[in-house]
Amino acid sequence: MVARGRKRAARESEKGILSPPGYSAIPIKFSEKQQSSHYLYVREHKVREGTKSSWPQKRTLFVLNVPPYCTEECLSRLLSPCGPVQSVELQEKPDLAESPKEPKSKFFHPKPVPVAYVVFQKPRGVSAALALKGPLLVSTESHPVKSGIHKWIRDYADSVPDPEALRVEVDTFMETYDEKMAEEEAKAKEEEGVPDEEGWVKVTRRGRRPVLPRTEAASLRVLEREKRKRARKELLNFYAWQHRETKMEHLAQLRKKFQEDKQRIELMRAQRKFRPY
Amino acid sequence: MGPAHKGAQHRGTAGEPEVMVSALEGIGKERKKESSKKRSGSPVEGLLQPVKLSRAELYKEPTNEELNRLRETESLFHSSLLRLQVEELLKEVRLSEKKKERIDAFLQKVNQRIMRVPSTPETELTNQAWLRDGVRVPLHQVPYTVKGCFRFLPPAQVTVVGSYLLGTCIRPDINVDVALTMPREILQDKDGLNQRYFRKRALYLAHLAHHLSQDPLFGSVRFSYTNGCHLKPSLLLRPHGKDERLVTVRLHPCPPPDFFRPCRLLPSKNNVRTAWYQGQSPSGDGSPEPPTPHYNTWVLQDTALESHAQLLSTVLGSASGLKDGVALLKVWLRQRELDKGLGGFSGFLVSMLVAFLVSTHKIHTTMSGYQVLRSTLQFLASTDLTVNGISLCFSSDPFLPALADFHQAFPVVFLDSSGRLNLCADVTASTCHQVQHEARLSMVLLDSKADDGFQLLLMTPKPMVRAFDHILHLRPLSRLQAACHRLKLWPELQDHGGDYVSAALGPLTTLLEQGLGSRLHLLAHSRPPVSEWDISQDPPKHRDSGVLTLGLLLRPEGLTSVLELGPEADQPEAADFRQFWGSRSELRRFQDGAIREAVVWEAASMAQKRLIPHQVVTHLLTLHADIPDTCVHYTGGLLDALIQSLKETSSTGEEALAAAVRCYDDLSRLLWGLEGLPLTVSAVQGAHPVLRYTEVFPPTAVRPAYSFYEQLQERASLLPRPDKPCPAYVEPMTVVCHLEGSGQWPQDAEAIRRVRAAFQLRLAELLTQQHGLQCRATATHTDVLKDGFVFRIRVAYQREPQILREMRSPEGIISLRDTPASLCLERDTRQLPLLTSTLHGLQQQHPAFSGVARLAKRWVRAQLLGEELTDESLDLVAAALFLHPEPFTPPSSPQVGFLRFLFLISTFDWKNNPLIVNLNNELTAEEQVEIRSVFLATRTKLPVMVIITPQDRKSSVWTQGGPSPQTVFRPPLDMYDVLIHLSPRHIPRHRQAVDSPAASFCRGLLSEPGPSSLMPVLGYDPPQLYLAQLREAFGDLALFFYDQHGGKVIGVLWKPTSFQPQPLKASNTKGRMVVFQGGELVMVPNVEAILEDFAILGEGLVQAVEARSERWTV
């Protein structure tokens, strides 16, 4: 496999563009003016048998090294000559699963960063894309892409929020949330005090007598209390051996301190800390 | 001290930072990538490890010796660490036995050589033709004519005196003082009169110098002044060859015992006749001659050399603890620059002081060195020698002069065992007060049981520039001659043998102390350095001793007043007041009806008020001492310009910050009283640097010119326009708003965010409705425009961080684990407001805090390191300068605070110490010890800089993100690989630059602030947006550095590690390309394309991308 990859890479190097084995490289430029180009490394999206992947097999193109100014629309436009594009998803890392089903709220989630999955409508699009020679141009006369000052001003304008839209979103979310909570509550109420098949009854905090919450902190607190209770019962410095041991303990502390200090002095001496001037 | 010693020392000082850097890099590397290695516990060079002793070692039977030592440590020293430190220090400054032997041998030879110097025939004193060429008399012979004869005879006796014999001399300057007793035949009766003794003494040395300089034994033969006294030269001999640096032998000629009658040399007697001194014939009009106490003392000092040496050797001789104590005291004095020059608190003086304390039973001979140091400091701190002089003389001889007589003649009094010689004759009152002040500070430090007390007490140098708030230099010194005449100091000049610098020093300092009054805490002066010169040269003139430096330690509470209140006009003191202040004094009528003399200084802003001492000093010096202000070089506000915003050039921004804080107070009052919010507001806390007075350039009220912007009418906002220069930068000030507790909050993180957003919307609505404020709500905050300031209110829910931390284990137990989101929220809503309010409080205590913190930030950002060191961490370091100023006092001027900041960050050992900032004094000493041990145990997991506060005892929240060890000590601004030049048109803070541009672009503001109905453009700073984009896109390939205060250049540094060819991997293809290298396909950064990307991403902002080094060509 590796050998084959190498051979293929070597073949490509004759054509001038190198690519990692299994990938093909498409040069991409921002505009005509840019001298040297970045390379998109593309591959058909394939997974081993049995691995779950929500991206459709055969029709998905996996793209690496998407330049920072390249947006989803722009990628879609660039690849559309190869065949109609169904969707483009930019991600931070390669990820097998398709992104969460529900659309992300633009108020609560910032945009992710690029590795791209391009889903074509037909498998032919993938092969056409793999054969693409380029160089692709991100910004052209007909479709200028904004960067720099223009982009920032647009971003700023976009960031000025519409309070109404925000309100509507919050309200709908809270409605569904409240519904969900009410449902759960009703379900819990129904189950309350009803034994399961083996006859166990689940005790919840809604019961008549509140129980300890099942948290780590609470259990630690209980342990601590026990320990204190035990410590109170113990007699200290009662027997002679206890006296002896306390003294020895004190001495050991002093020795330990002394060793620590000696180490510090050693270090300071090494750093010439004792040369006053 | 060997000849190579100086070199070694140089290496030592230069090597120190190096050690730190490499050491720090050590941790950094470990922290950065080798986390697995870290766990395996590889010992790092130079890093403290927690001590692990085996059980057997810890619990073995103690030996008698060990028990004794432990007991001794407990009773005689502070702690075992201090004991070890003191022992190490003494080892370092003590003379080794080997060197002692070499010095002894050298002394033997010196003795022989001196005895062999030939005698000369007797000549008149004024006839100095017999002196050979190549040697000059080491004395200013003014006036030249003196009656009397001189001949040279070898000394009657050569004795070693001083610290060498006692074993208390300390390195690196080993001096051996040798007293040469001149034979009686040289001297005549009345030699004590009119400098005749001093002339003979000088000629004696000149002849000796000539002969000894011929001898190959000596590497150098030079003259110097004994303790800086201009009438008393001494001869310095250094061995030849590699031992040249080993020792300096100082020869002091002295009269035979009992030659001078002590009663002739009492402080009330005159021994320099006015007529002779002024070169006139004796007038004989019977006018009383002025006493010459200093002259008399100098003669007496020579007669007492041996008796002092004897006294010291009997007292210190057998007690090693006392000797240790004297050595420690000498180090202590030297670190404070108190021991040098005429009137310095020399080692000899301090030895005598210890002898005095032994004789009064304040020190016992069995005490340890540390205890001697402590008792002496205690004595110095509690005794004012300018009022209550002390005496080593316990005889009740009625003929001896009383202490009061000495107090009349000298400012400071400490009599020796004869009861006639004042050892502190040359010490000025202000030097004495300085010593007292230092002793007091040191006692506080020792009592505080601080862990690093030793370091601060004995190892930290206190040069004037870091110790005093304001410094002024008087230059050239020749002006002081005129000053002496103006101040009518002729008798003093006569007494000091024409040394106008020391004659004028006392009166000048008294004058300034009186004038500065309540503004001044302490006035100190530098002492002219003791010069050395070649025997073939004339002795240096008084004016050649450089500059006179005065240091002012200011009293912050006194700095706020612009008024000098005098007596009422009809009282007799009014005349004195008028005379003292001259034309500045005027009659004023006050509100209580009183008419008083008063002086009013012009000062509008805090910065100008801080500089009132400058006005006082120049005014008084011109008025009373004829020293024009061109000769007074005052440095108090040199750095103020860097934190001045342009509009009001006289203010350093304290007023603007106070205005912003006032506006914030108003807003918080509005929030408290807001009606109609589902939950009432329980707390409003500021979280922005402006609200803790540490924003470098405080915001001003803005009023945008609408024509400059695009308008978004439906949302009442302004937008920047691409065709105009970018608008003024308006940063919203963050305010955290806590609501009263309620059980109604949802218990799910996503839902909480929605509810918070609903609160933000409601808040905006209510503020607009009830108070007519322009608001803009987003999901996380509400921006409020109030009086031209923009605040960003964030609603916080107390339990939210907790909910973010909750994790449910498979068994259903809920445990709390920190997550990045919870930590971030906790920091923003709890710790940051707390820090802000604490530092706000600190500013009320120390008015200079704001200036120091802002200068420090300004500097760090100008070094392009602003991204690495967070705002908060810098504020905490600045706060540490005020809360833990030891061994200094809290700074009262931004300048000195900034210098200490630089000293702190350049010397602090971050690797082995946390910087503990004890805000509000909440941490006890035991807690601090605990913190230190936790720190040592977890060092490798902690960030490079660790700053501990009472609220943040373990993790050092503010330094988690950086700095990386490489950047802390990177030399500034040198080799950046790529420079990205930005266009000033789109830099909104262009005018804040260090070299402020003469003109910049219009930023769309109207000159007067007024009500505005539209929200200005907020937080729109193109360079910052650009940087964020760059870091996002290329953050793993390069580091970007920028000065947010108007920087025009972004420095780019490629990360060397990311330029290593990488194997092929899907996850690291960003910005790289595949090349064929060494028979393999590897990925390297696609540099050409990236450089072009820099330009594309910053289109409009970037002027040029300049690739400077070729390091990236792989």
Q: Mutate which of A255, A257, A262, A269 to test chain B, going by most B C-beta atoms within 10 A? A: A255
CB contact B724 to A (< 8 Å)? no
Pairing of strands B248-254, B175-181: parallel
Instruction: For the beta carbon of residue B1091, count every other beta carbon within 10 angstroms.
Output: 18
**pLDDT value of residue B1000:** 62
Contacts of B90 in chain A (CB under 8 A): none
Contacts of A269 in chain B (CB under 8 A): 88
Q: Do B778 and A149 touch (CB under 8 A)?
A: no
Nearest CA in chain B to A68: B1033
Contacts of A18 in chain B (CB under 8 A): 1073-1076, 1081
Candidates B49, B458, B1102; nearest CB to A276: B458
Candidates B712, B761, B1076; nearest CB to A163: B761
Whole-angstrom Cα distance, residue B47 to residue B19?
Answer: 12
CB B821 within 8 A of CB B810: no
Contacts of A135 in chain B (CB under 8 A): none
**pLDDT value of residue B836:** 92
**pLDDT value of residue A197:** 84
Whole-angstrom Cα distance, residue B844 to residue B882?
Answer: 12
CB B391 within 8 A of CB B99: no
Pairing of strands A85-90, A116-120: antiparallel
CA B963 to chain centre: 24
List b or e across B416-450, with b for residues whose CB sees 16 or more CB atoms inside 10 angstroms.
bbbbbbbbbbbbbbbbbbbbbbbbebbbebbeeeb
CA-based nearest distance B981→chain A, Å: 14
- DSSP letter at B556? G
Sheet arrangement for strand B470-474: B520-525, B548-554, B470-474, B632-635
Q: Give how far Cα B652 sits from Cα of A234, B611, B854, Å.
A: 65, 12, 10
CB B549 within 8 A of CB B472: yes
Token pair for B138? 């080491």
Q: What is the dihedral of CA B203, B209, B211, B212, to 10 degrees?
A: 150
Nearest CA in chain B to A24: B1074
Q: Do A107 and B779 touch (CB under 8 A)?
A: yes
Cis previous bond, B963, omega within 30: yes
Nearest CA in chain B to A70: B1097
**Phi, psi values for residue B473, rounded to 5°:** -110, 140
Contacts of B1071 in chain A (CB under 8 A): 38, 65
Q: Mutate which of A152, A214, A221 to test chain B, going by most B C-beta atoms within 10 A? A: A152
Q: Do B1020 and A156 touch (CB under 8 A)?
A: yes
CB B117 within 8 A of CB B211: yes
**pLDDT value of residue B210:** 87
Contacts of B1017 in chain A (CB under 8 A): 156
Whole-angstrom Cα distance, residue B193 to residue B171?
Answer: 39
Q: Do B335 and A213 touch (CB under 8 A)?
A: no
Candidates B459, B813, B816; nearest CB to A273: B459
Provide the residue type at B738 as one letter. H
**pTM score of the predicted model:** 0.83
Contacts of A152 in chain B (CB under 8 A): 1020, 1022, 1025-1026
Q: Do B1100 and A149 touch (CB under 8 A)?
A: yes
Q: Do B1017 and A156 touch (CB under 8 A)?
A: yes
CB contact B746 to A (< 8 Å)? yes
Contacts of A261 in chain B (CB under 8 A): 79-81, 84
List b or e across B229-267, with b for residues whose CB sees 16 or more CB atoms inside 10 angstroms.
bbbbbbbbbbbeeebbbbbbbbbbbbbbeebbebeebbb
Whole-angstrom Cα distance, residue B595 to residue B588?
Answer: 6
**pLDDT value of residue B268:** 85
Start-to-end C-alpha separation, chain A: 68
**pLDDT value of residue A86:** 81
**pLDDT value of residue B1014:** 75
CB contact B7 to A (< 8 Å)? no
List b or e across B376-396, with b for residues whose CB sees 16 or more CB atoms inside 10 angstroms.
bbbbbbeeebbeebbbbeeee
Candidates A41, A170, A256; nearest CB to B757: A170
Provide the residue type at B1043 as one letter. D
Ranges in chain B, pLDDT < 70:
1-48, 50-51, 76-78, 281-286, 450, 646-649, 954-956, 958-975, 991, 993-1013, 1062-1071, 1076-1079, 1109-1114
Size of interface A-B (CB pairs under 8 A): 239
Q: Mutate which of A15, A106, A154, A160 to test chain B, going by most B C-beta atoms within 10 A? A: A160
Whole-angstrom Cα distance, residue B929 to residue B947?
Answer: 15
CB B533 within 8 A of CB B509: no
Q: Do A264 and B81 touch (CB under 8 A)?
A: yes
- DSSP letter at B220? E
Ranges in chain A, pLDDT < 70:
1-20, 47-54, 91-114, 134, 203-213, 272-273
Candidates A115, A150, A251; nearest CB to B722: A150
**Phi, psi values for residue B21, rounded to 5°:** -60, -50
Q: Mutate which of A149, A206, A219 to test chain B, going by most B C-beta atoms within 10 A? A: A149
CA-based nearest distance B893→chain A, Å: 27
CB B717 within 8 A of CB B1014: yes
CA-based nearest distance B664→chain A, Å: 23
Q: What is the dihedral of CA B333, B336, B339, B342, to 10 degrees?
A: -150
**pLDDT value of residue B1112:** 52
Q: Do B335 and A277 touch (CB under 8 A)?
A: yes
pLDDT in tens, B1067-1081: 566 667 777 666 677
Q: Do A152 and B1025 touch (CB under 8 A)?
A: yes
CB B353 within 8 A of CB B414: yes
Whole-angstrom Cα distance, residue B1103 to residue A53?
Answer: 46
Q: Helices marked H in B61-195 — which ranges?
A: 64-76, 80-93, 97-115, 163-166
Q: Do A6 and B458 touch (CB under 8 A)?
A: no
Q: At what angle do helices B80-93 and A240-270 cross, to 10 degrees?
A: 30
**pLDDT value of residue B141:** 82
Contacts of A157 in chain B (CB under 8 A): 712, 719
Q: What is the dihedral of CA B497, B474, B615, B620, to 10 degrees?
A: 10
CA-based nearest distance B1036→chain A, Å: 13
Contacts of B721 in chain A (CB under 8 A): 153
CB contact B1076 to A (< 8 Å)? yes
Q: Do B715 and A263 touch (CB under 8 A)?
A: no
CA-based nearest distance A18→chain B, Å: 6
CB contact B1028 to A (< 8 Å)? no
Whole-angstrom Cα distance, residue B181 to residue B1066?
Answer: 91
Nearest CA in chain B to A167: B758
Candidates B712, B812, B1070; nearest CB to A160: B712
Q: Give how far Cα B46 sits from Cα of B9, B27, B43, B645, Å.
A: 20, 10, 9, 45
Q: Do B1096 and A214 touch (CB under 8 A)?
A: no
Helix (H) or strand (E) holding A269: helix A240-270
CA-based nearest distance A210→chain B, Å: 17
CB contact B327 to A (< 8 Å)? no
CB contact B769 to A (< 8 Å)? no
